[in-house]
Amino acid sequence: MAEKIDYDFQAHERPLFDAWMEAGYFQRTEGFGPLADNPYTIVIPPPNITGVLHMGHALNDTIQDTCIRRARMQGRPTRWILGTDHAGISTQTKVDKKLADQGISRLEIGREAFVEQCYEWYREYGTTIVNQIKGMGCSCDYSDEHFTLEPAYVKAVRKLFVDWYHNDLIYRGKRIVNWCPSCTTAIADDEAEYVDEAGHLWYLRYPLTEPVDGIEYLTVATTRPETMLGDTGVAVNPKDERFGKLVGKTVKLPLVDREIPIFADWHVDVEFGTGCVKVTPSHDPNDWAMGERAGLERINIFDETAHVVEGYGAFSGMDRDEAREAVVAAFDELGLLDHVEDHDHSVMTCYRCHTKLEPWESEQWFVAVDGLKKDAARVVEDGTIQFHPERWRQVYLDWLANLKDWCISRQLWWGHRIPMFYCDECGWEDASVEDVETCPKCGAAVRQDEDVLDTWFSSQLWPFATMGWTEEGMGAPEIKRCYPTQVLSTARDIMGLWVARMVMASMYCCDGIPFEHVIIHPTVMAADGKPMSKSRGNGVDPLRLMQDYGADGMRFGLLMQVTGTQDLKFNEAKLESSRNFANKIRNAARFVMMNLDGYDGGAPDPQNPVDRWIFSRLANLVAAVDEAYADFEFGDITRDLYSFFWNEFCDWYIELSKARLNGEPEERAQCQRNLVFVLDQALRLLHPIMPFVTEEIYQELPVEKDAPMLIGAAWPDAKALAAYIDADAERAVSMVCEVVSAVRATRARYGISPRTELSVVVKVEGGDAALLQAQAGLIERMGNTSELAIGADVEKPGESSVTLSAGLEVYVVLSGLVDFDAERIRLKKECEKLEKDAAKFEKKLSNPGFLAKAAPEIIEKDTAKLAEVRDNLERVKAQLAELG
C-alpha cells in the first residue's frame, strides 16, 4: 500500500459541513427510488438553551444523525427537526444570578423587564449547543429551527391548555406538592433527585389530654421534628392492640397547646418507631392522605422559603433547620424528648439547585391523567409504538400505571404563562388562547394567572407543534405527509417525563401516535461504571474528543461501545481506534486512486475468485447492516463495518489485487472497476456514522457518481447485491487467508525471513480440498512457498509446526529452521489454554441458572463453542503425542 498519511480531519470537517448546508441536503427534499413517497422524520429532543454538549447528547445525536443519513440515502424525503427548549427554572436561575452580580433583583425590575432579560440571555447564549451539534456533523434542518417560546409554539401550548381545561382534564386545587424553597416553585415528582443522608429519628412524647389506664403520653418517632408545629393528629394501625383503647382519645400537642385526635389508619407501619405516627397533612403526602380519610385539619407552618410563618412565637421566622434545633431543644427542656437514634434515609432535592424539597400544601394546576393514560398505554401494548431495547416497554407501561395527577404550574416568570383570566369584580374566570383584557360578563379589567406551565407540559407538543399544527391542525401539509415521525431517540430518565407525555398529548391532539419507534440509548458512564457528573469530576467533554479524534472518530467510537443490554462504560481508547480507522479508510482509498491510471469506468465484473469472494462478503455485509438498522443495533453495525473494511477489504482484498493491478490491461481494468465498486459501496455504508472522511473520499473518486455528494448518494441495495453471494468463493478465499495467516504467523513466531521459501502442507476436510486446491497459486504467491500440498488425506510432515482453524490443519515444515523443544512447549501451553476454555464452557452450560435465564441462541452459540474447543484440544493432544 502507498505511504500512510494521517487524515487531517480538522482541515476537512467544517468545509464539508458548510457544503452540505449550502446544497440544501439538511432540508426536506424530494426523495428518489421506491421510497420517494415514504418520508422519514425525527424530532430532536430539544436541548435546554442553558445547556452545552455532553456525552449523552453526543451519543444520542450520533444515533439520530446515523438514522437520518441512512434514510436520506435510501431515497426517503428526510427531515431532522431541530429546536431548543426555554428551560424554565434553569434559565430563570441563570438570569437571576446575572442580575444579582449587577446588584439587581428581578423583583425590582418587574416581570416584563425580567422576561426581556431572559430573551437577551437566550439571544446571547442560547445557540451555543446548536453550534456544537453542527460541529458533530449532525444533519438537522437548521433552516427551520424551533424554540418552545416562539409565537406559534406558544399558541399551540395555550390551545392544549384551553382544550384540556374545557374537557375537565385540567383543574386547580390545593394539594401537597414538592416545593423548592430556593427556586420558590413547585417541582414535579419525577424531577426530584433522591440523596442518601445520615440523619436521626427523634422520639417525642405527646401527653394525653386525659390519662387512660395509667398511660400519660404517646411517643411518636419522626425524622422531621420541626413539622410537629403543624400536627393535627396521631395515627396508629387498627390491628395494633397496644393502642386500641386510645383510638378516639386526644393528645395535647406540646409547644402549641393544640388538642389533636388519636385515630386508626391502615397506612401506619407497626414496625416503624413506636407504632404511633404524628400526622402533618400539609407537609407530607402520606399524612395528607391519612388526614383526608380522617377529616383532619390542614395547617401549613412554612412560607414559600421554608421559614416558619407568624403565629408560632419564637419559632416564627426560623428556617427549617433552625426550627428543628429549637423544637428538639424545647422538647428536651420540657422532658418530652424520649431519645434519639441514628437513621439513614433518602431526601428529595431540587434537580436544579439541589436544595432539599419541602412537601408543601399550595394551590396548583393539575392534569387529570386518568383521562389520558389509557390510550397512551394501549398503543404500546399493541405494538403500534415499539421500544428498543424491548425491555423498556414494560418500564413505560409501569410508569403510566402508577402515574398520579400531574402538577403543571410553576411559580416562575420565564415560560408559558398559564392562559387563565380572572375578573375580581364579578368572579368570572376562563381559559383562553388569546389574551383577555376585559371581562366579557361585566366589562371590568381582568388579570392573568401569575404562574407558568411546567416545561414538560410545553415540550409534550414538540413532535406536532413543530409541523404547523398550531395554525392548521391535522390539515397542515407537513403533518398530513409526515406524521407520525419514525424514530425518537432519548435517554431513559425522561421516558416518563417526556416520552409518555408526548404519546398522551399526540393521542389527544392528533388522534394518533407521535412516533413509531423509541430508542432508549444507554447512559454514558465513566470508565469505572460510575455516572459522569461535575461533582465527581469524571465527566468527559465531547468538544475535546472531537478536537483529538475528529467528529468521525468520536461518533464511530461511541457507537462501537453500544450494546443493547447495559450502560456504556466510556472507553476513550475506542475513539483512538476509530480515529486510526478513519486513517485506514483514507489510506486505502488513496491506494485505490493511485492505481486508477487509465481507468475507463464501466460495470463491475467479479469473475476472479477473489472478486467473487469480496463481492459476496459485501452482499452479506449489506444484508447484515440493514437487519441491524431495523433493530437499532448500532454497536453491531459499527463492528461489522470495521471488520469488513479493515480486515477483508484493506488487509486482504487490496493485497490480493496488487498482482492484477500490475498484470495485463484487461485484467488490470477489471480489477480497477471492482476495487472502485467495493470501495464506493463501503463508503456508502460507512457514511451515516463517519460522514466527513467518507464524503471527502467520495468527492475525490474519479468515477461516475449517482449524486454530486455522498450524503445524497443511494444506499447499497441488498436485493441487487444478493446476486453476488457465492458461498464457495467465500469459503475458498477465507481458507486462503487462513493458510497464508498461518504461514505468516509461523514466520513471525520463529523469526523466519519473508524471503525464505517454506514447504507447506494443508490438511482440509472433504469438498473443501478442491476449493482450496483451485486457489493454490494465491497461497504460493502470498505465502512464498517452495512446496504446497493440499488434501484430505495428507500426512503431517516430520519436524513441522501446526496451526488449527475451522476445518483446516496447516503444517509448515521447519526442519533446520526452528527449535522443536520450543514447539513442544508452545503446544503444551495451547493445550492448557484449551482445557481451561473447555472447563469454562462446561461449567457455564451445566449451570441450571444460566440455562433457565439465557436466550436459546446464546445457549446454542456456547454449545457450538464448546464443541469447537474440544475438537481443537483433541488435535493439539494428538500433535503433542506425535512430537513425543
**Cis-peptide, bond into residue 609, ω within 30° of zero:** no
Closest-CA residue to 454 (of 783, 109, 183): 183
Q: How far is CA 327 from CA 247, 309, 540, in A?
A: 26, 15, 46
- The CA distance from 492 to 724, in Å, is 42
Tracing cell 525471513 back to the chain, one arrives at 753
Q: How far is CA 534 from CA 54, 490, 526, 841, in A?
A: 11, 21, 12, 42
- The CA distance from 72 to 7, in Å, is 26
**Cα 879 from chain centre:** 51
- The CA distance from 652 to 610, in Å, is 9
Q: Find out whether 534 is annotated in a ligand binding site.
A: yes
Contact yes or no for 542/4 (Cβ under 8 A) = no
Counting every residue, how long is the chain?
A: 884
Closest-CA residue to 552 (of 4, 8, 1): 8
- The CA distance from 845 to 638, in Å, is 30
- The CA distance from 217 to 252, in Å, is 9
- The DSSP call for residue 352 is T
- The CA distance from 245 to 381, in Å, is 50
Output the DSSP codes for 689-705: TSHHHHHHHHHH--S--
Range 618-630 burial, b when 16+ CB lie within 10 A, else e: bbbbbbbbbebbe
Q: How far is CA 783 from CA 314, 648, 732, in A?
A: 94, 17, 16
**Cis-peptide, bond into residue 484, ω within 30° of zero:** yes
Q: Strand 215-222 to strand 409-410: parallel, antiparallel, or no bridges (unpaired)?
A: unpaired
Contact yes or no for 550/582 (Cβ under 8 A) = yes
- The CA distance from 121 to 108, in Å, is 18
Closest-CA residue to 63 (of 667, 695, 486): 486
Tracing cell 497459486 back to the chain, one arrives at 777
Lateral strand order in the sheet of 800-805: 785-791, 758-764, 808-813, 800-805
Contact yes or no for 798/761 (Cβ under 8 A) = no
Contact yes or no for 655/778 (Cβ under 8 A) = no
Contact yes or no for 696/551 (Cβ under 8 A) = no
3-state SS of 112-128 is HHHHHHHHHHHHHHCCH
- The CA distance from 623 to 718, in Å, is 6
- The CA distance from 425 to 423, in Å, is 5
- The CA distance from 262 to 234, in Å, is 5
Q: Strand 386-388 to strand 40-43: parallel, antiparallel, or no bridges (unpaired)?
A: unpaired
| Amino acid identity, position 126 | G
- The CA distance from 763 to 772, in Å, is 10
Cell of 856: 436459546
| Amino acid identity, position 131 | N
Q: How far is CA 424 from CA 45, 170, 398, 438, 446, in A?
A: 41, 22, 43, 11, 7
Q: CB neighbours of 194 closer than 8 A, spacing ≥ 6?
A: 346, 347, 348, 349
Contact yes or no for 138/80 (Cβ under 8 A) = yes
Provide the annotated binding site for ATP: 534
Provide the annotated binding site: 534
